[in-house]
Amino acid sequence: MFTVDQLIHSGLFTLVNEGEDTQREITVPFCCDLLSMAMGKAPAGCAWVTVMGNMNTLAVASLTDAACVILAEGCSLDEAAQAKAKVQGITVLKTQLPIFAAALAIHQQLSEASL
């Protein structure tokens, strides 16, 4: 089992907002920048890696029950989304890594935790 808290403290990503349930298990990395597709395909408990740092991303993360959101490619939350992440208790991290590399890093952490 690999939790959001472990991801926060892994040193892989920079914490933007610490959500309410950091003891939640991360089930799988999920990559998608098309919000309508993410709404239908993001699995519950995923670590969602995207470049979309806006309010709609947080709404989709909440709707799909994502464990956390990782903003890749140096993207960040806009001011309104930053405030909304705090209110909704959504964990958001960021990285300069490309989307695939960020998801691969999460996958490797999940694999190591399952040994």
Q: What value does the mean pLDDT take over residues 1-5?
A: 97
The predicted-structure confidence for 58-103, as pLDDT tens digits, reads as follows 999 999 999 999 999 999 999 999 999 999 999 999 999 999 999 9
Q: Name the pTM for this structure.
A: 0.96
Query: What pLDDT was estimated at residue 33?
Result: 96
**pLDDT band at residue 115 using 50, 70 and 90 as cut-offs:** confident
The stretch 35-44 carries a mean pLDDT of 97
Per-residue pLDDT, averaged over 9-37, amounts to 97
Average pLDDT over residues 16-26: 97
Q: What is the chain's mean pLDDT, rounded?
A: 97
The crossing angle, in degrees rounded to 10, of helices 55-64 and 79-88 is: 30
Which DSSP string corresponds to 22-64? TTPBP--EEE---HHHHHHHPPTT-EEEES--SHHHHHHHHHH
Q: Give 17's Cβ-side CA count (13 Å radius).
A: 26
pLDDT at 49: 98
pLDDT in tens, 45-54: 999 999 999 9
Separation between Cα atoms, residue 45 and residue 110, nearest integer Å: 12
